[in-house]
Amino acid sequence: MTQETFVPTPIYYISGIGPYPVEHPFQQDSLRLYLSDSVAETETAIDIANFTVTPEASPDENGRGDVYLDSAFAAENDGLQLVIERATPIENGWEGVSGAREAGLEAQLDRLTQATQDLSQRLSAAAGQPRPYVPLSGAVDVDADNTDDFITAFEAALL
């Protein structure tokens, strides 16, 4: 398996329990969910008791899964932004003592690639690069090519 270019999961607006698609490979327990308040510029971690991921892991190159929210949690936070991030643990479990070493090495290299992709995404967000988003059903979509009125944190530092 090889890892393709990482495309982060877009920001969703909570509308029911889901599914909220995750369209990239991920390891078990490696997804982190946040409620985002763009007005207050805050993100609040969502406790693992408030969501499930199906399947629990999808590590291969065709990996994808779905996030489902707890019904009470979804109702309480209806309309808020849902951020789904991958936080792959950086570890190497390959001992290379016998057997299919090449397959084991490949799997470990894939995990390291995923972790590097996660770090890249976080650094891009810290530098002010916007996350992809999915507008609410029926909402007016902003013209992505007309960004003249927007300024990034990096550009502001140059002023």
The answer to the question of residue 102 being in a domain is yes
- Encoding tokens for residue 148? 């003249």
The answer to the question of residue 39 being in a domain is yes
Range of the domain at 76: 12-138
Over the chain, what is the mean pLDDT?
A: 78
Q: Looking at residue 74, what DSSP letter applies? A: H
Most confident by average pLDDT, 30-34, 38-42, 58-62, 63-67: 30-34
Residue 13 has pLDDT above 90, yes or no: yes
The answer to the question of residue 65 being in a domain is yes
Q: How many CB atoms lie within 10 A of CB 44?
A: 14
Per-residue pLDDT tens digits for 100-121: 677 778 778 788 888 888 887 7
Query: What total number of domains does the chain contain?
Result: 1
The answer to the question of residue 59 being in a domain is yes
Binning pLDDT at 50, 70 and 90, where does residue 28 land? confident
Instruction: Name 16's Cβ contacts closer than 8 Å, sequence gap at least 6.
Output: 69, 74, 78
Residue 156 has pLDDT above 60, yes or no: no
The answer to the question of residue 156 being in a domain is no
What is the rounded average pLDDT of the residues 70-92?
88
The answer to the question of residue 145 being in a domain is no
| pLDDT given for residue 67 in this prediction | 95
The answer to the question of residue 130 being in a domain is yes
The answer to the question of residue 144 being in a domain is no
Residue 133 has pLDDT above 70, yes or no: no
